[in-house]
Chains A and B, each alone.
Chain A
Amino acid sequence: MDAVTPSRKTMTLNLTEAEMKALDDLSVTKDISKTAVLRQALRLYQMVEARMARGEKLYFEHDATKQKAELMVL
């Protein structure tokens, strides 16, 4: 028995110009399609939400200074 591709569903997205531009820019920077960008976003969001639901906080740590800061810049 060999591989069977799981079925995929199609969805239409309504985005603002700014959102579309952000999506375009990420697609170029990451060298992946806009669909792949959105897949990345969904996977990250799912993980972040699950951990925050467990009471954890999301931080960034600067590699050189080891300074920690929350996700939002302000």
Chain B
Amino acid sequence: MSTKTTVYLRNAKTGEFVEAFLIDGLARPDIEKAEADWKPFLSEQVKRMEASGIAKHLLPQHRHWDWREKYDATEGYLAYRMFGIECQAQMQGLLLVTTAAKNCRIASQAGKPLVYVHFLAAAPWNLPSITSEPRFSLTGTILLGTAIQLSIEEEFQGRIGLHSLPQADDWYKSSCGMTDLGPDPAAKGLRYFEMTPDQASKFLR
């Protein structure tokens, strides 16, 4: 069953708020449409970046993600939840989390369950690193906030964990106040971040 909550994205050009919908429980057609909208834009930008000589490791790391695969792998499982932000009839961000089998690594929270963010991505036209005119901001904030609110609903008190893609490391640490547990060799060296109940509460304030 799918539910929609009204949220607001910010038009990156004008600074105005635009009404959007946070969807809890996406269906496959939603994902297929998102892929159909995102992929061509992303491919074009990546080609442009490659043509201008930008090194491979600087290209968007999630350019090969396929959300249909993620949907197919997790659909029907109680442990997985997928959320999307829809605005102007297009998906502006996607989130996949798991609510089971993941525990905190921070010493003070060791062994307590958390909501783990498997994947979080903004639509490519919202990424400042690949387009000089991003359309909307706040997708990351809303999706991270969603993971935290889900954690609270699950009685995990806002505890969340995630592996950051390098360009977002600083945002999670400095802007979101998460604890940086350093590069994780089990995750190809991606930095692992967690949020304690206190940090979650500060984020939502």
Decide: A2 and B5 in contact? CB cutoff 8 A: yes
Decide: B156 and A43 in contact? CB cutoff 8 A: no
Complex alpha-carbon distance, A3 and B100, angstroms: 23
Residues of chain A lying within 8 A (CB to CB) of residue B112: 30-31
Taking the complex as formed, is A69 at the interface, i.e. its CB lies under 8 A from any CB of chain B? no
Decide: A43 and B5 in contact? CB cutoff 8 A: no
Residues of chain B lying within 8 A (CB to CB) of residue A43: 77-79, 99-101
Question: B17-64: which have CB < 8 Å to A?
Answer: 24
Taking the complex as formed, is B84 at the interface, i.e. its CB lies under 8 A from any CB of chain A? no
Decide: B79 and A3 in contact? CB cutoff 8 A: no
Given contacts A3-B4, A3-B24, A31-B157, contact A44 B100 (CB under 8 A): yes
Residues of chain A lying within 8 A (CB to CB) of residue B77: 43, 46-47, 50
How many chain A residues touch the partner (CB < 8 A)? 19
Residues of chain A lying within 8 A (CB to CB) of residue B79: 43-44, 46-47
Given contacts A4-B3, A43-B78, A46-B79, contact A32 B156 (CB under 8 A): yes
Closest Cβ neighbor of A5 among chain B residues: B3
Residues of chain B lying within 8 A (CB to CB) of residue A29: 111
**Interface residue from A6, A36, A46 paired with B154 (Cβ < 8 Å):** A36
Complex alpha-carbon distance, A50 and B79, angstroms: 12
A58 to chain B, nearest CB (A): 12
Decide: B3 and A32 in contact? CB cutoff 8 A: no
Taking the complex as formed, is B155 at the interface, i.e. its CB lies under 8 A from any CB of chain A? yes
Mask for B1-22, Cβ within 8 A of A = 1, else 0? 1011110000000000000000
Residues of chain B lying within 8 A (CB to CB) of residue A73: none
Mask for A34-60, Cβ within 8 A of B = 1, else 0? 001001101110110010000000000
Residues of chain A lying within 8 A (CB to CB) of residue B1: 6
Residues of chain B lying within 8 A (CB to CB) of residue A6: 1, 3
Residues of chain A lying within 8 A (CB to CB) of residue B4: 1-3
Complex alpha-carbon distance, A42 and B78, angstroms: 8
Given contacts A40-B100, A46-B77, contact A30 B5 (CB under 8 A): no
Known contacts A30-B111, A31-B155, A46-B79, then 8 further A-B pairs from the complex at CB < 8 Å, ordered by chain A residue: A2-B6, A33-B155, A36-B155, A40-B113, A42-B78, A44-B79, A44-B100, A47-B101
Q: List 13 A-B contacts (CB under 8 A).
A: A4-B3, A30-B113, A31-B155, A31-B157, A32-B113, A32-B154, A33-B155, A36-B154, A43-B99, A46-B77, A46-B78, A47-B79, A47-B101
